[in-house]
Amino acid sequence: NDRKQLNDLNTLMRKSINEKLMLDGVDIPCTDGVMIGKDVRIGKNTQILPNTIIIGNTVIGENCVIGPNTYIDSSTIGNQVILDNCKILDSTIEDGVDCGPFVKVRNNSVLKKGVHVGNFVEIKNSVIGDGTKSAHLTYIGDSDVGSGVNFGCGTVTCNYDGKNKYRCTIGDGAFIGCNTNLIAPVEVGDRAYIAAGSTITDSIPDNA
């Protein structure tokens, strides 16, 4: 009948969901601020830390650490994933990925096995290959990234020209130096090496 009653009802429902998950083997050491939707599935021995919200048709695997201060909506999270201070929207995070703090993964992204994404990195509508690393202060948008790529600090995929958006393709084992601007559409070949401070407007062949 009023907002107070709605809050009381939400508290009861939140407690019921959290208790059921704990009885099923999920570790919630402190339930403060933990809100988990009724359709969410979480594997055993996964730890959910305070101020974490998980909603939609989200599936989380086993032996993960989720939070603190993490928001996940309608995403698939693999096993042994660490998400620290992250926002994950409609995306797939595969086994062994380590994200955070202060990471945003936007719609239609896939982070494949063993990817590392560090502080203040945003990923949007992109596929990031196995073992690729982006440690800090980088934007990867509308891109197809191979495995074993290293993104230096301050790299930007410049995917928007003011009217249209374009994709970047980055090959396996490429090294992207700090403060690189990749002006899409552009392709970076396998094992290509880009010096710090470069602006790339033309495609780069393999091993260049």
Could you list the active site residues? 136
Strand partners, 66: 48, 83
- Contact status, residue 54 vs residue 36, Cβ threshold 8 Å: yes
